[in-house]
Structure 1
Amino acid sequence: MGSVTTKKHPNGLEFVEVNTPLCQARIFHQGAQIDFFQPKDKAPLLWVSDADDYQPGNGIRGGIPVCWPWFGASDIEGFPQHGFARTSLWSLASVKMRNQIVDLVFTLKISAEQQQYWPHDTEVSVLFSLSETLTVSIVNKNNADYPINFTQALHSYFPIEDIHQLKASGFKDSKYIEFAKGPFAQGSDDVLFDRETDRVYTDLAQTQVLHTPAGDIEVSRENSQSAVLWNPWIDKSQRLSRFNDNDYLTMVCLEAANVLEDEVNLQPGESHTLTTHIRWR
């Protein structure tokens, strides 16, 4: 049927290793971050920079970092970029196996120190469903007696072999903001890459496809009208930590999100689930 085993990286980070007839995967307790997923008889679906040294306290440069409870820079000076979830230690709450599919749930207990960033009574969990498709969800429940607002993203990194040969499709009739300018209307369905790309899309269709030399990667979303498309290109690659100067050639990020006007407004007692599905087509 398969196995789910807890192991430890040489640098001390604990992770869960999954082996089934359908796939192999690795998910770290730090950040509830998956960094490896490979369906049976196919290539890995996630990219990680080999410059990353998996040090405790640093989000892994690749896989799917969880950006929560805000995406990007906070409005409050000194608050961590992309929130605190991606560097926090999560707990593995449950493991279930059904017909060779593995379901895992990670939960985050917000510490007293983190309450300075997020003083709200909420529950947050990350769910993984591992088969020939990778499904990741972040679930929020508002236990407070007042509404809360937040932004979030599943910051997915994909291997694309050669950025110059990549075509991303599924963007027709959407709009985007880039480098704090816009919104711009996108009439064409496709995006090609010949410079730094940092687009926050809204009014976006639920499914996009990354057409790579190795095959097509389908990325779809639920409860999300927004997504982020990112490649740092040459100059920014040289400024990024845990990132090689030429890594931009072999990766792209396409991130399921709730950002800009797609921000989540969660009423007392309500729950919200953001989901991404990733597979070779």
Structure 2
Amino acid sequence: MELSSSVSIERTESGLEYILVNSDKCRAKVFLQGAQLTEFTPAGKTNLIWVSEAEDYQEGKPIRGGIPICWPWFGVHGRAEWPIHGVARKCLWRAEDVIENEQGISVKLSLPMRLVDENYWPYQSKLEVEFVFSEQLEVRLTNINTGKETFTLTQALHTYFPTSEIKETTVDGLQGAQFIEFGEGPFTQHEVVAFARETDMVYTQAAPLQTITTPLGTIEVKREGSSSCVLWNPWIEKSKRLSNFKDEEYHRMLCLEAGNVMDDAVTLAPGESHTLVTVIRWI
């Protein structure tokens, strides 16, 4: 991978490598482990991505915050002993390409399939992610079926967003969507979503654009290649059980995740591809 003048490879004190983007448009970090973005700060604005203050960036452990890539399944697998949210977020991805032009900077990574246990994923495929950095952030996750068998997967871009107080935060644009929460439903979302308890809503038939209103500002979240998304905040009791998460940090974060889950799962015949996209920005 040939680096541009605004892109470098850095390393945490714990030894994890990350790609640092530092341009006149933004600053960003993408870890090679999990291809996980942990910062996107547009010029003149605050970081649009939340990471726990308790995160210690250890090899083989998912980072608590940023944008974990959940693949090739979202949530708990039918086989309960399999890892939650799949295997991609623990693997070491390969940096493929950096392109810098007047529009911004593009960073591409791929998941070496030899690192994926065939018990979990016995299919021939490619998985690539592209981050496009400008005044906004665009993330493009592409699956390509390179084999002779049709396969089905679920996935998500598990984006953690910042707020200064979850009780003063709302999400607009989910009205009319169907959701399941804690195994119950489907229900129809009628109102703007506010937070007063643990929230774990899996939406289908969702509109492609939502806005998150926080005391810090308003965030616009768009999706492509997706009619499903997930809204999550662990609240009080679950926060105490989470790894790399301080008990009170639920006040300062929420997840709104672009997904292909439930009825929105992706099925690819040989030669087919699919791209899941999320685009986020401060309004």
How would you bin the TM-score normalised by the shorter chain? Answer: over 0.9
Q: Which amino acid aligns with 2:137?
A: L
Partner secondary structure for residue 113 of structure 2: coil
Letter of the 1:240 partner, please give it.
Answer: L
Structure 1 pair 113–217 and aligned structure 2 pair: CA distance change class (3 A): closer
Q: In structure 2, which of residues 5, 16, 20 is the aligned counterpart of residue 17 of structure 1?
A: 20
Equivalent in 124, 138, 141 of residue 141 of structure 2: 138
Offset from partner CA, 1:199-232 (integer Å, 9 cap, x none): 0000000000100111100011001000000000
Q: Match for residue 231 of structure 1?
A: 233
Structure 1 Cα separation of the partners of residues 232 and 271 of structure 2: 35
The correspondence of residues 1-281 of structure 1 with structure 2, limited to 5 A, is 2-99=5-102, 101-111=104-114, 114-188=117-191, 190-281=192-283
Question: What is the TM-score when the length of structure 1 is the normalising length?
Answer: 0.98
CA contact (8 A) 2:91 2:115 kept: no
- Cα 1:110–1:164 shift into 2, 3 Å: same
Classify the secondary structure of the residue corresponding to 1:236.
helix
Alpha-carbon displacement from aligned partner over 1:151-180 (angstroms, at most 9, x marks no partner): 000000000110110011001111100000
Work out the CA distance in 2 between the residues paired with 1:239 and 1:87.
Answer: 20
Distance in 2, matches of 1:2 and 1:132, equals: 18
Q: CA deviation at 1:75?
A: 1.3
Runs of 4+ in 1 over 2 A off after TM superposition: none
**Aligned mates of 1:116, 1:105 — CA distance in 2:** 27
Could you state the TM-score of these two structures normalised by the residue count of structure 2?
0.97
**What's the CA shift for 1:76?**
2.0
Measured at CA, do residues 144 and 202 of structure 1 come closer, stay the same or move farther in structure 2, by a change above 3 Å? same
State the Cα distance separating 1:78 from its structure 2 match: 2.0
Count residues with an aligned counterpart.
280
Q: State the distance in 2 between where 1:14 and 1:97 align.
A: 21
Secondary structure of 1:235's counterpart equals: helix
Q: Secondary structure at the match of 1:205?
A: coil
Distance apart, 1:115 and its partner CA: 1.6
Q: Is the 8 A contact 1:174 1:202 kept in 2?
A: yes
Q: Which amino acid aligns with 1:69?
A: P
The one-letter amino acid of 1:211's match is: T
- 8 Å contact kept, 2:32–2:95: yes
Q: CA deviation at 1:100?
A: 5.2
User: In 1, Cα distance between the equivalents of 2:12 and 2:217?
Assistant: 31
2-structure distance, mates of 1:264, 1:50: 34
How many Å separate the matches in 2 of 1:280 and 1:228? 20
- Structure 2's unaligned 5+ residue stretches are none
Counterparts of 1:52 and 1:20, CA distance in 2: 26
Alpha-carbon separation, structure 2, partners of 1:172 and 1:269: 36
Q: State the alpha-carbon separation in 1 of the partners of residues 10 and 116 from structure 2.
A: 28
Paired with 2:35 and 2:118, the residues of 1 have a C-alpha distance of: 19
What value does the CA root-mean-square deviation take over the aligned residues?
1.1
Q: Percent identity?
A: 47
Which shifted more, 104-113 or 11-20?
Answer: 104-113
The question of whether the paired residues in 2 share the 8 Å contact of 1:20 and 1:100 is answered with: no
Deviation for aligned residue 1:113: 5.8
- Structure 1 gap ranges (5+): none
